[in-house]
Chains A and B, each alone.
Chain A
Amino acid sequence: MEGLQLFLDNFADWDSFVRIWPLLWQGLQLTVLLSIVTLPIAAAAGLLIAILYSFHHKPLNVALLIWIDLFRSFPVLVLLILIFYGLPFLGLTLPSFAACVLALTLNNSGYYGEIFRAGIEAIPHGQREAARALGLHPLKIIFLVILPQAIARVAAPLASNSLELVKTTSIAALVALPELLRSARVAQEQTYNPTPLTAAAVLFFVMLWPFARWVAKLERDMLKRQR
């Protein structure tokens, strides 16, 4: 009993929590902001890569595949450190928020690009031919015929990747952007106990858990459909 009390006093101390809540709340807002700014940009970049790929122009496709695999191979934190600490040596200094958006976008353009590409490639060629025979404009073929089917097919990896992107925003803490994790570390220096870390972990969990459950369900459904 005493051990449990000691544990709670340290890891879940209510007074500490109340004191540091304003800081955590600011951090949480910044985490959400970083996510909702980056998600659409990265997804659009990936979609653009996939659409360009679908024209099957050989040299272009080689370049696109190199782009995709290069950015899927680069640990995103390494990319962020290069952008934030490396670029200033070339006279280009980005604020930490912009550096994070750029690193996450480059990294995820590879992931989203590969996912959209796989979805588009999985649509039978007859669909494209039929649409062309009906006289549809090439852009209309892509946006009205191919993409709706392709996106439905890769809904699970799309959702999974988006969840990973939101989780990855926490690396912003390492370039001093006061998002949720960073705020918790700063708060910890005021409370001298790990309650802020527990609170940040709980906040991340509460925010992301429903999404994680939904992703898991989409993945299970996909696996079942494909057996």
Chain B
Amino acid sequence: MSPLLDNFFNRQVLAQYGPSILGGFWLTVEVALATIAIGVISGLVLAIVRALRWKPADIAIVVFVDVFRTLPQLVVIVFLYFGLPYADIQLSPFAATTLALGAVLAAFATEIFWAAIQAVPQGQWDAARSLGLGFLKILFLIILPQAIRIAVPLLTNRAIAITKGTALGTAVSLPELLGRAQSSMAIAANPSPLTLAAAFYLLFFVPLVVASRWLEGVGSPRTLRGRH
């Protein structure tokens, strides 16, 4: 057999470690879904709180957004997992990874939702107010439905980009896809498990990336294309 096939597509190794790696794939999917749920929901809530324009909350949110938008994801994960135990908080690898990625996504989502809320023309507020609607009704019935539509393409890109960070969980020994592949590779002394993991990642992300390309084409001007 050629060295390429023997090393990267070794059937025996694949058969032996396939089930374990599949298990890792499901964990990756769980982390991804949890991250998106935490990030998008908190981002929307924080943007709504900002819309209330209450100064102390405003400042706290801006600090939160700036910190988690600026720090590398891996730094946040490592800090939560290896730093917090000194404050008597021991997070599981799963909790550290999802909380860290969720916080990073929340920061970006807050920024995106808030920008989208502001992008809805002032006239919409004025018109709704002149119809006698209260602040909350205007926000939830008039402004947010439009803002969310503006936010979706940017948010999709960001969510995909940050979800790819699930592989970083391997740094805190989360047994997700990459982590399982790496330990299988070490035991088998053969990188075929890594090939399989790569295939799983592509299986998961290629449809998302292609779908987001389509979503951008439909939803927004071309130049909004950003990072996936």
Contact = CB atoms under 8 A, between A and B. Distances in A.
B43 interface: no
A69 B213 contact: yes
B78 A74 contact: no
Interface string A112-148: 0011001101100000000000000000000000000
Contacts of A118: 222-223, 225
Nearest to B220: A226
A134 B209 CA distance: 40
B198 interface: yes
Interface stretch (A18-26, A37-45, A152-160): A152-160
A9 to B, nearest CB: 10
Interface in B176-228: 178, 182, 185, 190-191, 194-195, 197-198, 201-202, 205-206, 208-210, 213, 220-228
A210 to B, nearest CB: 9
A72 B225 contact: no
Contact of B70 (A74, A119, A208, A224): A208
Nearest to B65: A216
A61 interface: no
B82 interface: yes
A78 B170 CA distance: 10
Given A81-B182, A153-B223, A226-B221, A204 B87 contact: no
A86 B178 CA distance: 13
A205 interface: yes
Given A69-B213, A212-B66, A220-B115, A168 B72 contact: yes
Interface in A64-92: 69-70, 72-78, 81-82, 85-86, 89-91
12 contacts: A69-B210, A75-B165, A77-B170, A85-B182, A114-B225, A170-B72, A173-B74, A185-B82, A222-B224, A223-B150, A226-B221, A227-B121
Top 9 closest pairs, chain A to chain B, by CB: A73-B205, A194-B83, A167-B72, A170-B72, A75-B164, A75-B167, A89-B7, A118-B225, A86-B191
Interface of B: 3-4, 7-8, 66-67, 69-76, 78-79, 82-84, 86-87, 111, 115-116, 118-119, 121, 150, 161, 164-168, 170-171, 178, 182, 185, 190-191, 194-195, 197-198, 201-202, 205-206, 208-210, 213, 220-228
Interface of A: 7, 10-11, 69-70, 72-78, 81-82, 85-86, 89-91, 111, 114-115, 118-119, 121-122, 153-154, 156-157, 160-161, 164, 167-171, 173-174, 181, 185, 188, 193-194, 197-198, 200-201, 204-205, 208-209, 212-213, 216, 219-220, 222-224, 226-227
Given A75-B166, A197-B78, A226-B220, 15 more contacts: A69-B206, A75-B165, A75-B205, A77-B167, A78-B178, A114-B225, A115-B226, A119-B223, A157-B224, A169-B72, A201-B76, A208-B70, A226-B221, A226-B223, A227-B150
